[in-house]
Amino acid sequence: MKKYDVVIVGGGPSGIITGVTSKKIHPEKSYLLIKEEEKGLVPCGIPYIFHDLENIDQNQMGPKPFVDVGGEVLIDTVSRVNAEDKVITTESGKEISFEKLVFATGSTPLIPKFIEGYDLEGVEYIKKSYKYIDDLKKRVDTAKNIVVIGAGFIGVEISEQLAKFKDKSVSLIEAEPHCLYRAFSEDFAEKADEVVKEAGVHLYTSQKVEKIVGENGKAKGVILSSGTKIDADMVICSVGYVPNCDLAKEAGIDLSERGTIRVDNYFRTSAKDIYAVGDCSQTIGFITGQTDNIMLASTGTAEARVLGRNLFHIKFLRNFPGTLSVFSTEVNGVVFASAGAIEQSARAANVQYVVGKAQGMDRHPGKLPGASQLTVKLVVSPKNGAIIGGEILGGKSVGEMINIISLAIQKAVTVYELISFQVGTHPLLTTAPTQYLLIKAAENAIEDINIHDGKLI
């Protein structure tokens, strides 16, 4: 039986980064990464294979960086893990023994079995599979009326991209009052609705899909809770992702109450020498410390960098107390980003907060070509002024600006500190130094703290 020091199950971003990071530190040890498909995809790049990229191959992502540092790759599916004897079995019949095992099994789209007609032909998903997406792209070619269920990031991005096909009608259905409502507060989410509509998508919010109707086993429309019927020859379900934890569960490894693989701060599962990282592993909310379900390549790779370094002994302390959700997207030329707590999530978690908001142009003077309006909102703990969340809306610069807020949250920066925050500004690149919006929002949050003095503090 072949034996490896480290076996990684899964070839997504978290699996690859765990492997690369760890193998570089321990070149003397043997590493095997097992993945199901030869070719892999950049998961978040999938919406852009329809227009911006010339073909799906431009969106490939593979374990090359891992192979380059000496890791081995096996294309196969792990069918069983024996945690006690430290042996895995694959579908092709291989038995491989390991010293350390890492679950990086990722997630798959939630199949909405609660919707009648979910199993009709023409009901599709955004699966992180090269073969599936390659085929889906061909099926999209011939579709005329597409209904997308679920206006989270994937649903919004796919709808916006598909609506660029002038010969297709795209409808997007969301049960919440607004698009992207898990990541943005009311005013930002309203703006998201607006830009989605401007992109040519027929948007239905606060409505559920009651039924996918079919004919001869093929989807031909959906019926909404309002009674509205929408024709559809393709229905794309983007109602969430489910962590792939069956293998771990069958191996007797503990799961969290959310169904993810339970791990500690160093991604150790309940079984000795077995780890879990990325979408399949438990996350702990940064602000609340509660078990959470964040499935993002960015947080997964952050975890993987910690795990990769600490697989054999804890060498690099994990510096942040939990997983921070940081999101960004661009819809019809408008960029939305958020980090940490938003107003709804703060209220739901019973976290006291005030808000500071500021608006301005992302160039100075604002008449410079290419200038976009920028809106910044900070969510702040009123007692000590710590920044616990933020949202930004504007042009391309928002994509990196949100990471200033991310760092601020992770380092417990307060709005009082932001007053003397020294920034770089330039006419062609940023807001004016006199009104740098993160600082303005911090100033406004301080005013809010003062106004609500008696009430909140």
Residue 283 near residue 322, CB atoms below 8 Å: yes
Binding its own copies by CB under 8 A: which of 133, 430, 445, 449? 430
The nearer residue to its own copies, 83 or 335, going by C-beta atoms, is 335
Residues numbered 48 to 77 that lie near its own copies (CB under 8 A) are: 48, 52-54, 58-61, 65
Q: How many residues bind its own copies (CB under 8 A)?
A: 83
Calculate the CA dihedral of residues 341, 404, 240, 300 and round it to 10 degrees: -110
When binding is defined by CB under 8 A, the residue of 364, 389, 391, 393 that contacts its own copies is 364
Residue 16 binds its own copies, judged by CB under 8 A: yes
- The stretch among 144-152, 196-204, 268-276, 396-404 that binds its own copies (CB under 8 A) is 396-404
Residue span binding its own copies (CB under 8 A) among the ranges 16-24, 112-120, 130-138, 190-198? 16-24
Name which of 44 and 255 has its Cβ closer to its own copies: 44
Task: Kindly state whether residue 323 participates in binding its own copies, applying the rule CB under 8 A.
Answer: yes
Give the tokens for residue 200. 């040519």
Beta carbon of residue 445, minimum distance to its own copies (angstroms, whole number): 13
Which residue lies nearer to its own copies by CB, 67 or 120?
67
The least distance separating its own copies from the CB of residue 16, rounded to whole angstroms, comes to 7
Q: How far, in Å, are 126, 139, 146, 254 from residue 134 at the CA level?
A: 11, 9, 18, 35
Interacting stretch for its own copies, rule CB under 8 A, among 130-138, 169-177, 224-232, 407-415? 407-415
Q: Closest separation between CB of residue 402 and its own copies, Å?
A: 5
Least Cβ distance, residue 211 to its own copies (angstroms): 34
Q: For the CB of residue 452, give the shortest distance to its own copies in the complex, in Å.
A: 17
Please tell me the distance from the alpha carbon of residue 180 to that of residue 158, in angstroms, as a whole number: 13
Map the footprint of its own copies across residues 279-318, applying CB under 8 A: 296-303, 305-306, 309, 316-318
